[in-house]
Amino acid sequence: MSEYQIDSKNSLFYLHSPPATEDMPTFVFVNALTGSTDHWEAVVAPGLREQGFGTLSYNFRGQDKSRFDEQLELTNALIVDDLVSLIEALRPSRPVLVGLSIGGL
């Protein structure tokens, strides 16, 4: 299990598989509020990895396996800031964002 530690009360669970070669992009999957990495990892992400693409799926604060300080409000800005921070930390190759619902926002 991979966990990106934001601070002592907040973390993001993620699954990251680099592409087969550096010139291939990494698809970064952004959930709906009621989603999880399970939605992406069932069919879509494995199919992309079979084609040599990289994948990165993660859960928002408070979603399965991601910790969330309940004193914070889960806002669009917080979700975006967390995604930017995760991408900066992991530096996936040529990221392509893919999202559903609020993840498409």
Q: Output the tens digit of pLDDT for each of the chain's 105 residues.
A: 699 999 999 999 999 999 999 899 999 999 988 889 999 999 999 999 999 999 999 999 999 999 999 899 989 899 999 999 999 999 999 999 998 776 666
Per-residue pLDDT, 103: 61
pTM value is 0.91
| Backbone φ/ψ region at 68: left (φ over 0), alpha (ψ -120 to 50), beta | beta
Per-residue pLDDT, 102: 61
Is the distance from CB of 30 to CB of 83 less than 8 angstroms? yes
Per-residue pLDDT, 51: 97
Per-residue pLDDT, 34: 87
Q: Could you tell me how far CA 1 lies from the centroid of its own chain? A: 13
Radius of gyration over alpha carbons of the chain, in Å?
Answer: 13
Strands (E), 37-81: 54-58
Q: Give the number of other Cβ atoms within 10 Å of residue 82's Cβ.
A: 20
